[in-house]
Chain A
Amino acid sequence: MKRISIDPVTRLEGHGKIEIFLDDKGDVANAYFQVPELRGFEKFAEGRPVEELPRITPRICGVCPEAHLMASAKACDAVYGIEIPSTAKKLRELQYSAFFLGDHTTHFYALGAPDFVMGPDAPKAERNVIGVIKKVGLEIGGQVIKTRRECHEVAQILGGKPVNPVNAIPGGMSKGLTKDERARIEQIAKDGVEFGKFTQKIFEDVVLKNKAYVDIIVSDPYTFPTYYMGLVDGSNKVNFYDGKVRVVGPDGKEHCKYAPNDYREFVAEHVEPWTYLKFPYLKKIGWKGFTGGPDSGVYQATPLSRLNASDGMATPLAQAEYEKMYKTLGGKPVKHNLAMHWARIIELLYSAERLLELVRDEEITGPEYRVLPTKTPSEGIGIVEAPRGTLTHHYWTDENGIVKKANLIVGTTNNHAPICMSLKKAAQGVIKAGKPVTDGLLNMVEMAFRSYDPCYGCATHSLPGEMPLEVIVYDRDRNIVHRLSR
Chain B
Amino acid sequence: MNGQLFEYSSSFDKLRTNGKKMKTVILGLGNTILTDDGVGIYVVREIQKLITDHQSPITIKEASLGGFNFIDLLAGFDRAVIIDAIHTKDGVPGEFYELDPAALNPSARLSSLHQIDFATACELARNMGVAFPVEFAIFVMEVADEFSFGEKCTPKVEAAVPKMSEAIVQILIERKWMNDAAKRS
Chain A positions within 8 Å of B, measured between CB atoms, are 1-14, 16, 36-41, 43-44, 56, 59-60, 62-63, 65, 106, 110-111, 124-125, 127-130, 133, 138, 141-142, 144-145, 148-149, 152, 161-164, 453-455, 457-469, 485-486
Are B89's CB and A463's CB within 8 A? no
Q: How far is the CA of A467 from the CA of B37 in the complex (A)?
A: 14
The answer to whether A163 touches B103, judged by C-beta atoms less than 8 angstroms apart, is: no
Given contacts A1-B139, A7-B108, A128-B120, contact A38 B68 (CB under 8 A): no
Asked if residues B149 and A43 are in contact (CB atoms below 8 Å), the reply is yes
Contact indicator B87/A461 (Cβ below 8 Å): no
User: Most B CB atoms within 10 A — which of A40, A62, A148, A454?
Assistant: A62
B171-A1 in contact (CB<8A): yes
Indicate whether A162 sits within 8 Å of B72 (C-beta atoms), given known contacts A5-B100, A129-B124: yes
Interchain residue pairs A-B with the least CB separation, the first 8: A465-B117, A466-B112, A44-B149, A5-B103, A164-B2, A463-B84, A486-B111, A3-B98
Residue interface mask B99-133, A partner, CB < 8 A = 1: 11011101111111111111110011001101000
Contact B110 A4 (CB under 8 A): no
Flag whether B148 is at the interface (Cβ < 8 A).
yes
Picked from B31, B66, B86, B147, the residue with its CB within 8 Å of the CB of A39 is B147
Q: Do the beta carbons of B30 and A39 come within 8 Å of each other?
A: no
- Given A5-B103, A142-B128: A459 and B34 interface contact (C-beta under 8 Å): yes
Q: Are A461 and B84 in contact (CB under 8 A)?
A: yes
The residue from A11, A14, A467 contacting B114, defined by CB atoms under 8 A apart: A467
Per the 8 Å Cβ criterion, residues 141-155 of B in contact with A are 146-150
Known pairs A38-B149, A152-B72 / 15 extra A-B pairs, C-beta < 8 Å: A2-B97, A5-B103, A6-B88, A8-B109, A14-B147, A39-B149, A44-B33, A59-B32, A106-B67, A125-B106, A130-B124, A141-B127, A145-B124, A164-B64, A455-B114
B40 to chain A, nearest CB (A): 9
* Most B-side CB within 10 Å, residue of A9, A141, A485: A141
Is B22 located at the chain interface by the 8 A CB criterion?
Answer: no
Shortest CB–CB separation between residue A58 and chain B, in angstroms?
A: 8
B113 touches A457 (CB 8 A): yes
How far is A9 from B112 in the complex, measured between Cα atoms in Å? 12
A-B contacts counted at CB < 8 A amount to: 210
Chain B residue at minimal CB-CB distance from A162:
B3
A11 B113 Cβ-Cβ under 8 A: no
Say which residue of B67, B107, B110 sits within 8 Å of A8 (CB atoms): B110
- With a cutoff of 8 Å between Cβ atoms, the chain A residues found around residue B128 in the complex are 133, 138, 141-142, 145
Indicate whether A130 sits within 8 Å of B147 (C-beta atoms), given known contacts A16-B113, A111-B114. no
| Option from A3, A36, A458, A468 in Cβ contact (under 8 Å) with B99 | A3
Q: Which residues of B contact A10 (CB under 8 A)?
A: 89
Which residues of A lie under 8 Å from residue B89 when comparing CB positions? 10-13
A463, B33: Cβ atoms under 8 Å?
no
Listed A/B pairs (13) with beta-carbon separation below 8 Å: A1-B97, A1-B171, A12-B86, A41-B149, A133-B124, A145-B128, A161-B3, A164-B64, A458-B34, A461-B65, A462-B146, A463-B99, A464-B103
Whether the pair B115, A459 counts as a contact (CB closer than 8 A) is no
Contacts of B66 in A (CB 8 A): 62, 460-461, 465-466
Asked if residues B111 and A128 are in contact (CB atoms below 8 Å), the reply is: yes
A7 near B109: Cβ-Cβ < 8 Å: yes
Measured between C-beta atoms, what is the minimum distance from A317 to chain B in Å?
25
Q: Which residues of B sit under 8 angstroms from A466, Cβ to Cβ?
A: 66-67, 112-115, 117
B110 touches A464 (CB 8 A): yes
A465 touches B110 (CB 8 A): yes
Complex formed: what's the CA distance from A2 to B69 in Å? 28
Count of chain B residues with Cβ under 8 Å from any Cβ of A?
64
Contact of A463 among B32, B68, B140 (CB under 8 A): B140
Looking at the assembled complex, report how far the CB atom of A130 sits from the nearest CB atom of chain B, in whole angstroms.
5
Q: In the complex the two chains form, is A164's CB within 8 Å of B3's CB?
A: yes
Q: Which residues on the B side are within 8 Å of A457 (C-beta)?
A: 113-114
User: Is B103's CB under 8 angstroms from A59's CB?
Assistant: no
B98 touching A129, Cβ below 8 Å: no
With A1-B98, A56-B33 already in contact, the answer to whether A469 and B113 are too (CB < 8 A) is yes
Q: B167 at interface (Cβ–Cβ under 8 A)?
A: yes
The answer to whether B112 and A4 have CB atoms under 8 Å apart is no
User: Given the complex of chains A and B, what is the CA–CA distance between A43 and B65 in angstroms?
Assistant: 25
Evaluate contact between B150 and A62: CB separation under 8 angstroms: no
| Nearest CB on A from B25, distance (A) | 16
CB <8 Å contact, B117 and A461: no
| Nearest neighbor of A126 in chain B, beta-carbon distance | B106
Contact of A145 with B114 in the complex, beta carbons under 8 Å: no
Does B60 belong to the interface (CB within 8 Å)?
no
**Whose C-beta in chain A lies nearest to the C-beta of B64?**
A62
| Interface residue? B96 (CB, 8 A) | yes
The answer to the question of B29 belonging to the interface, with a C-beta cut-off of 8 Å to chain A, is yes
> Which chain A residues border B147 with CB–CB below 8 Å?
14, 36-39, 459
**Within the assembled complex, what's the spacing in Å between the Cα atoms of A13 and B90?**
9
Closest B residue to A132 using CB positions: B124
Write out the residue numbers on chain B whose beta carbons fall within 8 Å of the beta carbon of A465.
66, 104, 110-112, 117-119
CB-based contact A460/B114 at 8 Å? yes
In the complex, the chain A residue whose C-beta lies closest to that of B107 is A125
Contact between B96 and A1, CB atoms less than 8 A apart: yes
| Contact A464 B118, CB 8 Å, known A59-B64, A141-B128 | yes
Q: Does B85 contact A (CB under 8 A)?
A: yes
Q: Chain B contacts of A458 at CB under 8 A?
A: 34
